[in-house]
Amino acid sequence: MAMMMADLSFSASISNAKLPRYGNDSSLVKRSSMFRAEARSTESEKYTTNGRSRKMVPTTELMRSKGGGRARTDTVNGSLNGAVNGSTKAVINGSTNGVVNGSTRAVINGSPKVVVTGTSLVNGSNMSSLVKTQKQMSARDDPFEEELKVLPSDEGFSWAKANYNSVQRSIDIWSFVLSLRIRILFDNAKWAYPGGFSEENQKIRRRNTASWLREQVLQLGPTFIKLGQLSSTRSDLFPKEFVDELAKLQDRVPAFSPEKAKAFIEKEMGCSVDVAFKEFEDRPIAAASLGQVHRAVLHNGERVAVKVQRPGLRKLFDIDLRNLKLVAEYFQRSEKFGGPSRDWIGIYDECSKILYEEIDYINEGKNADRFRRDFRNIKWVRVPLIMWDYTTEKVLTLEYAPGIKINNLAVLDSRGYSRSLIASRSIESYLIQILKTGFFHADPHPGNLAIDKDGSLIYYDFGMMGEIKSFTRDRLLSLFYAVYEKDANKGYKSFN
């Protein structure tokens, strides 16, 4: 523990108390001097759902000419003070009509509503930013531009068919459970090995069973893929061979067709994709167990990522979880699966709660806004902004923020990023979440953590979050300092 502490440095953001340093070196990781913007609330400010202040500003502050200077814009974690997702609400001739996601809607002397971006107003540009688009760069020119890959399709899976009914689904689930039970029985039975039982033969057979399990999970679809991904982190419950195979599910999730995605977006938003977006890429850049992500461009030229939920997911969850509850009850009664020593019913309840929370994208957007507020004064943590005008319960639109996967060591090394600095920041960010804010990201696999161009950590996917109560957090903080100071008595007292 001492060696680990000696190799890392923290920015004292965990608490107001400074941690002692070893030796004369104040920091083992060099940090450049920087200015920190601070958001201060006033009595006249009112807060919106994502926690940013919305301030009424005079038109003279907005309508600046190029020669007259520019309105001051302090930024905190990538957003303007007095703004909602980068937008400004203006009062012009006594009329107000504010819009989020970077735009201001004004009614001037009873004339029709005109939509322009808040940025163009601040800059005093006469050219509407609707005709300004960001310069597109190819993946070859920009290493942070995600290259489109051909993802496997879900068309060959029975669960993706429109006429898939609950009876057939239940038969498929129980056929899988019984087959798995028989395979595990033969793996553990010494008499089932024709050439004689040995630990090496058992490991080979378990690896074959684990490979079969992974393929069956893919065949069973989103619910089981998600549960498989969760199980890949529970080496305390499952054999190592199973954990290693289930971890591969992260890169093997099939995508659904762009036709399905567009039809789903139109149903959710109440308008066609062409009306909602200036550009929309048919091929997804990523597919997950519960949805997939497409790149798009808004009509103001801003690039965004659109996360689209798999069609019919809630109906599938209802059927699957009804059957899985019976499976959990069977495991709870079986001594072969741990019986009373493992709380399978509790595991089922927790997984069920997580699954239903993850398919509510409104909840995910609120989680992202809260997480961003928690890190508003931490320059090296980035959270993509949520575009609430283009977000529903099943479609989430957010700022496009590509980065290098945190486990892509070859690319990180070739670009000159410091592994020790990344490790230090990753640990510190989680200490802040657990010991200071009490609101932590509960799904930090490599697909949800990336490195930005300036070395900042980018967090994605806020569907699965955890919360630690203040009482527990205070005790954990005391324990942390006790370990750091090598004080056994202090550590003992933190538990009492």
Catalytic residues: 443
User: Are 306 and 395 a contacting pair, CB within 8 Å?
Assistant: yes
Cβ atoms within 10 A of the Cβ of 311, count? 17
- Gap between the Cα atoms of 176 and 182, Å rounded: 10
How are beta strands 381-382 and 457-459 bridged, if at all? parallel
- Gap between the Cα atoms of 392 and 266, Å rounded: 11
- Of residues 27, 9, 350, 336, the one with CA closest to residue 183: 336
Sign of the dihedral defined by the CA atoms of residues 132, 138, 144, 147, in that order: positive
* Residue labelled with tokens 């601040």: 122
- Gap between the Cα atoms of 18 and 493, Å rounded: 21
Task: Supply 335's token pair.
Answer: 């001594």
- Gap between the Cα atoms of 364 and 393, Å rounded: 9
Task: Supply 380's token pair.
Answer: 């090296």
Q: What are the CA-CA distances from residue 256 to residues 156, 172, 291, 316 (Å)?
A: 11, 21, 9, 15
Helix, strand, coil % (nearest 5) of the chain? 45, 15, 45
Element (H, E) at 168: helix 166-188
- Of residues 192, 234, 196, the one with CA closest to residue 209: 192
Residue 286 phi/psi, 5-degree rounding, is: -160, 150
- Gap between the Cα atoms of 293 and 255, Å rounded: 10
User: Are 459 and 467 a contacting pair, CB within 8 Å?
Assistant: no
- Gap between the Cα atoms of 451 and 109, Å rounded: 48
